Amino acid sequence: MTNPINITFDEIALDDIAGVTGKLAILVSPDGKIDSMARRVNRLSKGAVARLVDSEQFAGLDIGEGVTFAFPAGMAAEAVLAVKLPKRPTVAEARKAGAAMAKFKGNEALTALLASCPKAADISYGLALRAYTFDEHKTADRKEQLGATVIVTDPEAVAAEAAPMAALTEAVFFTRDLVNEPSNVLTTEDFAARLAAMHELGLDVEILEEAELEKLGMRTLLAVGQGSTSPSKVVVMRWNGGGDEAPFALVGKGVVFDTGGISIKPSAGMEDMTMDMGGAGVVSGVMRALALRKAKANVVGVVGLVENMPDGNAMRPGDVIRSMKGDTIEVNNTDAEGRLVLADILWYTQERFKPVGMINLATLTGAIIIGLGHENAGVFSNNDKLCNDFLKAAKAEGEGAWRMPLSPAYDKMLKSRVADMKNSCGRPAGSSTAGQFLQRFVKEDMPWIHLDIAGVALLKEDSALAPKGATGWGVRALDRLIRDTVEG
Ligand code: BES
Ligand code: MN
Ligand code: ZN
């Protein structure tokens, strides 16, 4: 597992700044004003900071971006990054500044001189989140990542504020690792073992094997995995930090690889389907966060782990399968497998846990990428209150989310000639018909959200707080939602 870089909070005597080795970061407000620590750097470097502030390059920077200068005379530091940041930055600006420091830092040691910046904890949060690397499988250029020292006037207070953020960082890294991991490593067995190991954190983890799933009648989930040599599993994670009230439920699609099955996908780009367990990855990350920060809430996380492969034993297009709920489904496309997995675990979760609310996450449709690109996840809900609470939490965390329609008008597209419904109905409104399908497995009065994260789980470009690859989108928003509404 990728561990977050070590960040220590400390203070410094101004006279000691000249002797700091490695890389150094300072803050400069957009109007050119600088704090005592940056002033000292300016004096030591014979006015380099002041000249930099007057430069066109600095004028062209956005808030949270920085300019560097190397080997300043009069200082032991090898390079200095001056980050443009107002004296009272917003949380988003502070995290962006931290991310700029992480990029500048690379694998080397960094000292961030933040003086009495009121958002020092958020700067270190951005730094930690952006300093993620996934080099588990690189034998050649795998380097040890040195830590960062954050220098502030009140290190104890900032360290206390940063502690829950460190828990979230670890949880986000857990999710990113799961999503980045190739499918020959992250099999259903390996995934379940990583979740079972969270027992140590105080989570109650239960693994349901195929025989058990068969008994429960989870035929649609099992049908997806029946062409794979990896056994299908459902993992139930429980965090009981609240009283004895009913839990909130998180449900995730965990297709460890999606070939499409017999309705096989084109080979170009198929390697990206290692991320098709992204929903389950986020659910697992949130459960880890709750345990690490000892949340005062009861939450159950349920993930369906399967692999969608073509095989002599695989489900066929045209097969009719009975779900745990009892509704029958004509599989007219074996590549619309995510909804088959979710149908059974959504139903199971409601029957067993009677949750007060339920959110599922899934890399469900390519259509959501056509609709929203990589900026926003699709949000589908039967409950305005829960939906708005979630949108608010996502906005506060800077995780893009946009509400999309569900409507009985889409139901006619799901009609099957031979069964109660079919699993795929072509290109028009492909993400909404998928949501409409899922809603058939949600009880009428159950507050519910479906998050289609196909466009946001894995990115080909660096984003604000993550290098290219898995983002961990949703871990922070869902943790915040639980903090603000379930705990609170
Ligand atoms: N896992 C895919 C959706 C997906 C596409 C995720 C691109 C990430 C990036 C899903 O199982 C799928 O294949 N969906 C089909 C549904 C269709 C057959 C109704 C799709 O989107 O084409
Ligand atoms: Mn598919
Ligand atoms: Zn899929």
Query: What is residue 170's three-state secondary structure?
Result: helix
Measured in Å, residue 397 CA sits from the centre of ligand 1 at 27
On the 0-12 / 13-18 / 19+ scale of CB atoms within 10 A, 103 is middle
Cα gap 60→82, rounded to integer Å = 13
- Report DSSP state, residue 419: S
Nearest atom of ligand 1 to the alpha carbon of 424: 19
**Helices and strands, number each (H, E), in the chain:** 15, 19
Measured in Å, residue 469 CA sits from the centre of ligand 1 at 18
- Best substitution site from 220, 365, 424, 473 to test ligand 1's pocket, by max atoms within 8 Å of Cβ? 365
Query: What is residue 267's three-state secondary structure?
Result: coil
Catalytic residue among 265, 296, 322, 443: 265
Which is nearest to 188 in space by CA: 196, 335, 211, 170?
Answer: 196
Q: At 185, is the pLDDT very low, low, confident or very high (cuts 50, 70, 90)?
A: very high
State residue 158's pLDDT score.
98
Take residue 291 and report the two structure tokens written for it: 């345990």
Query: What are the residues whose beta carbons fall under 8 Å from the beta carbon of 61, sequence distance 6 or more?
Result: 67, 84
* Rg value, the chain, Cα: 24
Q: Scanning the structure block, which residue is given the tokens 């290098």?
A: 467
| ∠ Cα 170 172 175 (to 5°) | 110
Mean per-residue pLDDT for 469-482? Answer: 98
Ligand nearest to the CA of 253: 3
Cα gap 83→80, rounded to integer Å = 10
Take residue 240 and report the two structure tokens written for it: 């009981």
Cα gap 434→432, rounded to integer Å = 5
Give the chain's domains with CATH numbers.
7-156 (3.40.220.10), 170-486 (3.40.630.10)
Ligand nearest to the CA of 269: 1
- Our measurement of the distance from residue 455's CA atom to the centroid of its chain's CA atoms, rounded to an integer in Å, reads 12
Cα gap 426→311, rounded to integer Å = 24
pLDDT in tens, 414-439: 999 999 999 999 899 999 999 999 99
> Is residue 454 within 6 Å of ligand 1 at its C-beta?
yes
Q: Scanning the structure block, which residue is given the tokens 């009981």?
A: 240
Burial call 187-217: b when 16+ CB within 10 Å, e when fewer: bbebbbebbeebeeeebebebbebeebeebb
State residue 362's pLDDT score.
99
> Is residue 317 within 6 Å of ligand 1 at its C-beta?
no
Residue 209 has pLDDT above 90, yes or no: yes
Would you call 480 a catalytic residue per the annotation?
A: no
Residue 15 has pLDDT above 90, yes or no: yes
Atom 14, ligand 1: residue with shortest CA distance: 365
State residue 47's pLDDT score.
96
On the 0-12 / 13-18 / 19+ scale of CB atoms within 10 A, 238 is middle
CA dihedral 383, 432, 453, 373 (to 10 degrees): -120
Ligand nearest to the CA of 457: 1
Query: What are the residues whose beta carbons fall under 8 Å from the beta carbon of 89, sequence distance 6 or more?
Result: 63, 64, 97, 117, 118, 119, 122
State residue 458's pLDDT score.
98
| CB-CB neighbours of 35 under 10 Å | 18
Mean per-residue pLDDT for 375-384? Answer: 98
Instruction: State the chain's mean pLDDT as an integer.
Output: 97
Query: What is residue 366's three-state secondary structure?
Result: coil
Ligand nearest to the CA of 179: 1
Take residue 156 and report the two structure tokens written for it: 């104890």
pLDDT in tens, 147-160: 999 999 999 999 99
> Is residue 337 within 6 Å of ligand 1 at its C-beta?
yes
Measured in Å, residue 467 CA sits from the centre of ligand 2 at 26
Which is nearest to 32 in space by CA: 13, 11, 47, 14?
Answer: 47
Measured in Å, residue 327 CA sits from the centre of ligand 3 at 21
Atom 8, ligand 1: residue with shortest CA distance: 454
Nearest atom of ligand 1 to the alpha carbon of 434: 19
Nearest atom of ligand 1 to the alpha carbon of 258: 1
* Percentage of the chain exceeding pLDDT 70: 100
Q: At 140, is the pLDDT very low, low, confident or very high (cuts 50, 70, 90)?
A: confident
Residue 141 has pLDDT above 90, yes or no: no
> Cβ(261)–Cβ(308) under 8 Å?
yes
Would you call 176 a catalytic residue per the annotation?
A: no
Which region holds residue 264: left if phi is over 0, alpha if psi is between -120 and 50, else beta? Answer: beta
Whole-number Cα distances in Å, 222 to 36, 258, 378? 63, 14, 27
> Is residue 276 within 6 Å of ligand 1 at its C-beta?
yes
Dihedral pair phi/psi, residue 56, rounded to 5° = -65, -35
Measured in Å, residue 314 CA sits from the centre of ligand 2 at 14
Mean per-residue pLDDT for 96-104? Answer: 98
> Is residue 365 within 6 Å of ligand 1 at its C-beta?
yes
Specify the pTM: 0.98
The terminus-to-terminus CA distance of the chain in angstroms comes to 32
Catalytic residue among 176, 339, 476, 480: 339
The sheet with strand 66-70 has its strands ordered as: 7-10, 148-152, 110-115, 23-28, 79-84, 66-70
Measured in Å, residue 371 CA sits from the centre of ligand 1 at 13
pLDDT in tens, 236-294: 999 999 999 999 999 999 999 999 999 999 999 999 999 999 999 999 999 999 999 99
Q: Scanning the structure block, which residue is given the tokens 């349901």?
A: 208
